Amino acid sequence: MPLNRDVLWYKDAIVYQVHVRTFHDSNGDGIGDFQGLEGKLDYLEQLGINTIWLMPFFPSPLRDDGYDIADYNAVHPSYGTLEDFRKFLGAAHDRGIRVIIELVSNHTSDQHPWFQESRSSQDNPRRDWYVWSDTDTRYKGARIIFLDTETSNWAWDPISKSFYWHRFFSHQPDLNYDNPAVREQMWNVMKFWLEMGVDAFRLDAIPYLVEREGTNCENLPETHDVLKELRRKLDEHFPGRMLLAEANQWPADLRPYFGDGDEFHMAFHFPLMPRMFMGLKLEDRKPITEILQQTPEIPPSCQWSLFLRNHDELTLEMVTDMERDYMYDMYAGNKTMRLNLGIRRRLAPLLENDRRRIELMNVMLMSLPGTPIIYYGDEIGMGDNINLGDRNGVRTPMQWNGGWNGGFSAAAPERLYAPLIEDPVYGYPAVNVLRQKASEHSLLNWMQSIITVRKSTAVFGRGSIEFLYPANHRILAYVRRLDNEVVLVVNNLSSSAQAVELDLRRYKGNILIEMFGRNIFPRVGDLPYLLTMGPYQFYWFRLRRI
């Protein structure tokens, strides 16, 4: 299947997030690689996704799972070669699957040659590629992000005998974007991959690119200038490619990253995700409708990116203290599940392996405005291992079958980069692709089905949204509309059966057609439209005037 040439392709994308290390090991060394990933493209094509987002696969000391890059223009030898990547990219494109890669632009590893040069002497030409200071008292307004491990945003470098700035781990020095040479070099990195055919970049940690005294060093105008410059070059040289912003901010603070359609094409909607979990636990639509009401309009060419879980902790930075306490109590009773300001768990364990709730969360993911991202393994309900440190518990090997190493690798189990999940509920003998493919009613087959329905109309990716506010607050209902295409979504957030009356008078005369079974429901009249819904049930109705 050739790639769709629509420049707004990202609006119709179903993204699958995967770390090459975790997916499939082709050479038996216990670590996933590009040849292994390429070998599983048929699976992803069958699932229905049309975009892959790869976590960092570059040479790195791997002290932050690859987000500490030591060479931007190569592939980590554990994952293969540049040629392996090229082959994988071509094979993905042959299947109509685009590829997003990471551009960790804010910082490098302290092992990167740039930093090694920079620290080597005050006179080195690359000295100003990083942010140095004689004191650790500058930029006091900047918060510390990794509260569990860092006590300052400055670290002492014994070699150059000065402090360097880092917003994340101290082994990740921040690049100095006030230096034009850094900006030019980062564009060169992008060009390298774009010329190879990469379709998009996820730009990591972008609010922190520039520092200014007297500010919190986030979302500064100078940062936007840097990003606009990159976007201008991208459009000029590589039209149709896309930039995705990772900025864990409130919607109003995120909005400037779209600019006038001249900065990012997409940005993650971080505050929505925890509120979906909150709404489900509270059995109340309020957290969800409230945050979406606060979400500003974005330029027509732009798109929100939605997710339920990812490789990081379920971040609770963008919630109030009261909401955070509630989320911790409800979803992370065991304190070892908590990390920084978040919860390091996968989707299925978070939802107590309740198939109905897992489905409902995916239904909302697929039908709220934005492009959905599925985290690898969540399509089969994989579990996590909270005994592994940091966020490694949600980065365990993909579970392909119930055989040796879950079909992930032929290596001896002790050589695997991380142990497989082996508990009786989520372990690979119970939860794996092979088993679920064989079961008609498996989560995997259900995910395939909902992706198919989602892709049957552009309304979910491109349409407007209008919330209905039925008096029953357990019901989250909205109408998605694109030109003459109208879809009604009704979600029961409650664990019990509910009746709901919807005010559909403006759609009087329309017939409701349920989109999964294509069954016809009664025509809309003057009276409130009554639906009865089972626990966690949902409906997608296409409204047709026939």
With contacts defined by CB under 8 A, name the span among 223-231, 280-288, 300-308, 512-520 that binds another protein.
Answer: 280-288
- Give the Cβ contact number of residue 278 at 10 Å: 21
Binding of residue 387 to another protein (CB under 8 A): no
d(CA 207, CA 219): 5
Among 212, 473, 523, 544, binds another protein (CB under 8 A): 473
Q: Residue written as tokens 């491990």?
A: 149
| DSSP output for 421-466 | P-STTTSTTTS-HHHHHT-TTSHHHHHHHHHHHHHT-SHHHH-EEE
Binding of residue 527 to another protein (CB under 8 A): no
Q: Count the site residues for another protein by CB under 8 A.
A: 20
Residues in 451-470 at the binding interface with another protein, rule: CB under 8 A: 470
Q: How far is the CB of 282 from another protein (least distance, A)?
A: 5
Q: With beta carbons less than 8 A apart as the criterion, state whether 278 and 324 touch.
A: no
- Return all residues near 159 (Cβ < 8 A) that are at least 6 apart: 119, 120
Q: How far is the CB of 251 from another protein (least distance, A)?
A: 16
With contacts defined by CB under 8 A, name the span among 35-43, 166-174, 219-227, 279-287 that binds another protein.
Answer: 279-287
Phi, psi (5° rounding) for residue 288? -75, -50
Among 19, 166, 309, 474, binds another protein (CB under 8 A): 474
Given the residues 204, 263, 313, 359, select the one marked as catalytic.
204
Given the residues 33, 157, 174, 246, select the one marked as catalytic.
246
d(CA 406, CA 418): 13
Cβ proximity to another protein: between 83 and 329 the closer is 329
CA terminus-to-terminus distance, the chain: 34
Cβ proximity to another protein: between 135 and 320 the closer is 320
Cβ-in-10-Å burial (0-12, 13-18, 19+) of 299 comes to: middle
Residue 523, phi-psi category: left (phi > 0), alpha (psi -120 to 50), beta (remainder):
beta
Binding of residue 498 to another protein (CB under 8 A): yes
Cβ proximity to another protein: between 320 and 387 the closer is 320
With contacts defined by CB under 8 A, name the span among 65-73, 191-199, 236-244, 316-324 that binds another protein.
Answer: 316-324
With contacts defined by CB under 8 A, name the span among 33-41, 164-172, 232-240, 494-502 that binds another protein.
Answer: 494-502
Binding of residue 546 to another protein (CB under 8 A): no
Q: Output the six-digit token pair for 137.
A: 């008292």
Q: How far is the CB of 307 from another protein (least distance, A)?
A: 22
| Residue 246 bears catalytic tag | yes
d(CA 174, CA 507): 54
- Return all residues near 7 (Cβ < 8 A) that are at least 6 apart: 239, 240
Q: How far is the CB of 529 from another protein (least distance, A)?
A: 14
| Residue 204 bears catalytic tag | yes
Q: Output the six-digit token pair for 42.
A: 């048929």
Binding of residue 492 to another protein (CB under 8 A): no
Residues marked active site are found at 204, 246
Residues that bind another protein (CB under 8 A): 278, 282, 284-287, 320, 322-323, 326, 470-474, 494, 496, 498-499, 501
